[in-house]
Amino acid sequence: GQSLEQPSEVTAVEGAIVQINCTYQTSGFYGLSWYQQHDGGAPTFLSYNALDGLEETGRFSSFLSRSDSYGYLLLQELQMKDSASYFCAVRYDSGNTPLVFGKGTRLSVIA
């Protein structure tokens, strides 16, 4: 099946940088997305990578290496409000197929 691997939990200090990794199955890979979900809330879109390299959006960046079937989300200048679950998600075959989600990484930002 199509499965994604990401760490279950990460803890980091306010103001620091944290990287959340994600590996995925290669066959039919179309693109890698990242979503943030606060407790009790809806997943919200953070970033998308289809080509190798780094995409930067403010304090958040996302990286993709298609040859390694690997990507990561980088969060800089961590704030307490960044405490949430972060999901990597992959589309296979096209841009109109369902997102397959990883199990999520729970990020705790501490003072």
Partner 1 sequence: DSGVTQTPKHLITATGQRVTLRCSPRSGDLSVYWYQQSLDQGLQFLIQYYNGEERAKGNILERFSAQQFPDLHSELNLSSLELGDSALYFCASSAEMNTEAFFGQGTRLTVV
Binding site for partner 1 (CB under 8 A): 31, 33, 41-45, 48, 50, 87, 89, 91, 94-104
CB of 68 to partner 1, least distance (A): 21
3-state secondary structure 55-107: EEECCEEEEEECCCCEEEEEECCCCHHHCEEEEEEEEECCCCCCCEECCCEEE
Smallest distance, partner 1 to C-beta of residue 94, A: 7
**CB 65 → partner 1: shortest distance, Å?**
18
CB closer to partner 1, 14 vs 38:
38
